């Protein structure tokens, strides 16, 4: 059964939109599993797990896989707040999520902004090497890269691999692993 979505939680659930869906069963990755656990501290990873257990499994507001994909890249700004929120999600009702526990409240925006800037620099280095731009500054000033990194909230788990692939990219190929590596609200 799908429960009504609180508007604030729905807006923050997805960095790219809110989708209503049925419940999905997925457990936290095992310590020996190849499945990525998430960015940030243990407390932050607990928030990631609790957030998606609440939003996807309990309330059916988003597909679990999509929630995990989007929120495992969040680095939490404060472990105490992440812990408070994880505990709050465990006892919250779908129509009363714990306050101050949404992605935008928890995310370390500085870390996400720095990763965003690093990504655009790597993208522009690759584009300059491939002759798409004459220099990195022209690339960074291009409307193609007109994005405010202060809006970034999440760093995809493929971020480091994306940077590596950009540095060795063949100029006649795209780098699909870099799609949505930085997510913003």
> Are residues 140 and 167 part of one domain?
yes
Q: d(Cα 169, Cα 163) in Å, to the nearest integer?
A: 10
In-domain check, residue 143: yes
> Are residues 116 and 54 part of one domain?
no
Q: d(Cα 161, Cα 163) in Å, to the nearest integer?
A: 5
Start-to-end Cα distance in the chain: 28
SS3 55: helix
- The domain total for the chain is 2
Residues of the chain under the 70 pLDDT cut: 1-36
184 in Cβ contact with 151 (< 8 Å): yes
69 in Cβ contact with 28 (< 8 Å): no
Output the pLDDT for position 35.
53
Residue ranges making up the domain that contains 179:
109-184
> Are residues 68 and 149 part of one domain?
no
Domain boundary at 78, 106, 134, which?
106
Output the pLDDT for position 6.
33
Domain boundary at 71, 106, 141, which?
106
Output the pLDDT for position 145.
83
Domain boundary at 106, 140, 162, which?
106
> Are residues 89 and 12 part of one domain?
yes
- Note the pTM of the prediction, 2 decimals: 0.78
Q: Residues 89-102: pLDDT tens digits?
A: 999 999 999 999 99
Output the pLDDT for position 119.
96
Please state the separation of Cα 121 from the chain's center in Å: 20
Classify residue 40 by its DSSP letter: S
In-domain check, residue 51: yes
């Amino acid at each position: 059964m799908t429960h009504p979505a609180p508007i604030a939680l729905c807006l923050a659930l997805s960095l790219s939109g809110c989708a209503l869906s049925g419940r999905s069963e997925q457990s936290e990755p095992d310590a020996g599993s190849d499945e990525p656990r998430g960015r940030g501290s243990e407390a932050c990873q607990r928030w990631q797990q609790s957030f998606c257990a609440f939003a996807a499994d309990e309330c059916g507001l988003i597909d679990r896989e999509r929630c995990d994909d989007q929120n495992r890249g969040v680095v939490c700004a404060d472990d105490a707040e992440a812990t408070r929120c994880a505990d709050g999600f465990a006892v919250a009702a779908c129509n009363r999520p714990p306050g101050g526990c949404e992605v935008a409240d928890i995310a370390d925006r500085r870390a996400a902004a720095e990763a965003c800037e690093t990504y655009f620099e790597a993208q522009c280095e690759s584009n300059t090497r491939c002759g798409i731009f004459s220099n990195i500054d022209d690339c960074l000033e291009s409307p193609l890269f007109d994005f405010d990194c202060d809006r970034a909230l999440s760093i995809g788990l493929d971020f480091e691999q994306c940077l590596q692939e950009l540095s060795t990219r063949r100029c006649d190929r795209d780098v699909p692993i870099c799609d949505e590596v930085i997510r913003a609200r």
